[in-house]
Amino acid sequence: MLGTLINGLTITLGSLLGMGLNQKMPDKYIKIVFQALGLFTLFVGIESALQTKNMLILVLGLITGAIIGEALGIEVWVNKLSLKLKSKSGSSDEKFATGFTTAFMLFCVGTMTVIGCFKEGMDGDRKIIITKAVMDFFSSTALASAFGKGVLFSVIPLLAYQGGLTYAAMLLGDFLSEAMKAELTAVGGLILIGLGITILEIRKLEVINMLPALVTTVLLTFIAEYFNIYSF
């Protein structure tokens, strides 16, 4: 959990710095930072998605996960949480919810998050998660300069999510095969591509409802490996 705590600290510091810059930066600079983040998110997503070794599992995992997420209404619950946090913080910022959800998705759905948490949980190796923490400092600064206080409050679900992954790795890390890790990374990359499209305002995608795909993809990979049909 130490790596996640450090990650939370760097995001907090970056968010506070970004919120300070937000008061001084003209809108045109905030807009261009916003666009740069969208492009960076697309790049990270594409890089991760290309790690798949089985396109069928990837697409089926994403579709089934999205259906489950839509049925559960995950995005509705996340939006309610952001509004509750906004109310408790006394913020009147219209961008609070956007900043909250965008930051959470960017910080939590990606190769370094999953692999970093599992490496720390399985063998105590924190190099990846610490590297991610440094990167998130700069990302949170840029995001908070564009979206304000919502980015800072994304630390709360981040600590729960990454802490949960690390703890799960301590218990189940040996269960995940290399194929499962590859497909998990790939589907996370697809979700990040959707987030990048949303950040760039090309089209708003309900990427939060796609999060169950992280679970369904692993299950489908397990089934394919069990029946020895993974590479087809």
**The pLDDT value given to residue 98:** 78
**The pLDDT value given to residue 11:** 93
pLDDT (tens digit per residue) in 170-187:
887 667 788 988 898 888
- Give the residue, 194 or 91, on which the prediction is more confident: 194
pLDDT (tens digit per residue) in 114-158:
768 877 887 788 887 888 898 889 889 888 888 888 889 889 889
Q: Is the per-residue pLDDT at 27 higher than 90? A: no
Q: Is the per-residue pLDDT at 86 higher than 70? A: no
**The pLDDT value given to residue 34:** 73
Cα dihedral across residues 37, 59, 212, 205: positive or negative: positive
Q: Judging by beta carbons within 10 Å of its beta carbon (0-12, 13-18, 19+), is residue 166 exposed, middle or buried?
A: buried
Amino acid at 75: E
Q: Is the per-residue pLDDT at 70 higher than 80? A: yes
> Taking Cα atoms as reference points, which of 56, 66, 55, 46 lies closest to residue 215?
66
Q: What is the mean pLDDT of the chain?
A: 84
**The pLDDT value given to residue 81:** 73
State the pLDDT confidence band at 232, using cuts at 50, 70 and 90: low
pLDDT (tens digit per residue) in 96-117:
777 888 888 778 866 567 768 8
> Helices 27-49 & 111-123, crossing angle to 10 degrees?
60
**The pLDDT value given to residue 159:** 92
**The pLDDT value given to residue 90:** 59
